Structures are given as structure tokens and as C-alpha cells.
């Protein structure tokens, strides 16, 4: 299938095309493959003068087998003594990562963020992330740099050590809502200005006026949501660890 792995028959066609003096683009067109795929296949298997279909197929299978054998087993996810089902945690982490990707995060950044999010401490070192995600230190470094730039995590020094660890922002979604609110408010102002300049009696002006009304309602709803969330957080903070509420004075009876 186009886009899938090259088969032995595909490689025979490539060898035949090279023998006929065809270019990578023409061979790719006949196979329904990008020219870059043909070029990589030929380059890694001896080049256009020494490419052999059978040898290339055997070499590819050997490389795949070697990579599979070299891949270490995934380390078990610690449950911090809470009796969590490791498989359930793993499945949830994968689904949460997929959701973050759907929201627009690059794959590696989403994996790092999800890995941090499921930890009770909300903090991991680069070595922790490399071990848990089974990726290179460079991949972790690049992902962390992106997330830090976006304000999704921060760095802190590990007490008594020279290492740094990356810390999850517990108010990530609150700050995300605040950012959305600011952008929404800017759109409200711009839409109101557009309606004023174009004239609300015109189709274009009416369009901006309608947009301003909808966006204004959205901003109002977001502010109410944040206010209610902050009230809920304050109420939880006013409780003892055992769940009983603090009182500011003696019982009134």
C-alpha cells in the first residue's frame, strides 16, 4: 500500500527501474510512492550502483529485528502506594496524551506533559522522563524547552543536588482560560469597533455587531466560571485534612 512498508516486490521494481536508468521520481510514480522514499531506500542499501532487491529486503528485516531486540521493556509506572491499577494508569496516560495532541500540542510535548501530569509530585527530572518515555535526552530537552516557553511548566533545582527537575503548573488550565479570555476580549473590542466603522445598518457592520454580542457573552461566562472555581478552591483550602471546616471563632451553639 502507498505509504506502507516496502515489500520484496516493491524492491524488485526499484532495482529494475535503476537498471533502466530511471530517476527516483519516476520509480516512485510507478510504485505510488514519494521520490524521497525511493531515495532513502536506495541510499541506505548500497546506492544506485550497488542496490540489490534481495539484499535490501534482508538488510531491512535485520535492522527491524535488531531494533526490536534492543528496545528495553517499559519500566512499570509507580503507584506511590495508592494501590492504583498500573494498566489502567497506562491506558489513561495514552488516552490523555492523544487528547492533548488533538488540542494542538506536538506529540513529544504532549507525552512529556501527560507524564508530568499523572505524577503526584508533578515534578520529574530529565532522567526520569527519559526512562519513563524511553526517548533520547535531546527529545526531552526540546519538548521541555517548548513547554517552558508556553508557560506550561517550570524548572527548579533538586534540593541537595545539582540536577534540575521540571515542575507541572497546577494552575495550567486556569491560566489557559485567562489567556483565552484576554484573546476573546480583544476580539470583542475589535468587533465593536468594526460595527461602529462599517455601520450596524449594513450587512458587514451587522455581522461585526452580532459577533461582538456572542463573544461578549462568552467572556462573561468565562469570568463566572473562573470566579466559581476560585471560590471552590478557597472552600477546600478552608478545610482540615480530615475534611472538617475551619472556624474563625468558637461554636455559636
Mean pLDDT of the chain: 84
Sign of the alpha-carbon dihedral angle for 71, 75, 76, 77: negative
Phi/psi at 167 (5° precision): -115, 130
pLDDT of residue 224: 94
Contact 181, 219 (CB under 8 A): yes
User: Could you give the CA distance from residue 175 to residue 5 in angstroms, rounded to a whole number?
Assistant: 44
pLDDT at 67: 61
In a 3-state reduction of DSSP, which class is residue 154? strand
- Asked if residue 73 has pLDDT above 70, the reply is no
Where are the alpha helices (H) located in 103-202, listed in sequence order?
107-117, 126-133, 137-149, 172-198
Mean predicted confidence (pLDDT) in 125-146: 91
Select the more confidently predicted residue: 190 or 122: 190
> Is the model's pLDDT at 248 over the cut of 50?
no
Residue 69 has pLDDT above 70, yes or no: no
Note the pLDDT of residue 17.
92
Query: Does the pLDDT of residue 109 top 50, yes or no?
Result: yes
Average pLDDT of 70-85?
58
Digit-coded pLDDT (tens) for 175-195: 888 888 999 999 999 999 999
Amino acid at each position: 500500500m502507498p505509504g506502507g512498508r516496502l515489500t520484496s516486490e516493491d524492491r524488485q521494481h526499484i532495482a529494475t527501474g535503476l537498471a533502466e536508468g530511471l530517476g527516483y521520481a519516476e520509480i516512485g510514480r510507478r510504485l505510488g510512492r514519494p521520490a524521497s522514499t525511493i531515495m532513502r531506500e536506495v541510499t541506505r542499501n548500497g546506492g544506485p550502483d550497488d542496490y540489490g532487491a534481495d539484499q535490501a529486503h534482508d538488510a531491512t528485516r535485520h535492522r527491524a529485528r535488531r531494533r526490536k531486540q534492543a528496545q528495553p521493556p517499559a519500566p512499570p509506572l509507580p503507584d506511590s502506594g495508592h494501590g492504583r491499577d498500573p494498566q489502567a494508569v497506562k491506558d489513561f496516560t495514552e488516552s490523555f496524551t492523544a487528547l492533548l495532541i488533538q488540542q494542538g500540542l506536538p506529540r513529544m510535548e504532549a507525552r512529556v506533559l501527560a507524564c508530568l501530569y499523572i505524577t503526584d509530585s508533578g515534578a520529574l527530572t530529565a532522567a526520569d522522563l527519559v526512562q519513563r518515555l524511553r526517548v533520547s535526552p535531546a527529545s526531552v530537552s526540546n519538548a521541555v524547552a517548548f513547554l517552558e516557553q508556553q508557560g506550561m511548566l517550570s524548572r527548579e533545582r533538586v534540593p541537595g543536588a545539582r540536577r534540575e527537575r521540571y515542575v507541572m503548573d497546577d494552575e495550567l488550565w486556569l491560566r489557559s482560560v485567562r489567556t483565552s479570555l484576554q484573546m476573546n476580549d480583544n476580539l470583542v473590542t475589535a468587533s465593536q469597533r468594526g460595527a461602529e466603522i462599517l455601520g450596524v445598518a449594513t450587512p458587514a457592520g451587522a455581522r461585526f455587531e452580532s459577533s461582538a454580542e456572542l463573544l461578549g457573552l462568552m467572556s462573561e461566562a468565562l469570568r463566572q466560571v473562573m470566579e466559581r472555581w476560585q471560590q471552590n478552591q478557597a472552600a477546600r483550602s478552608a478545610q482540615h485534612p480530615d475534611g472538617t471546616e475551619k472556624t474563625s471563632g468558637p461554636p455559636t451553639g
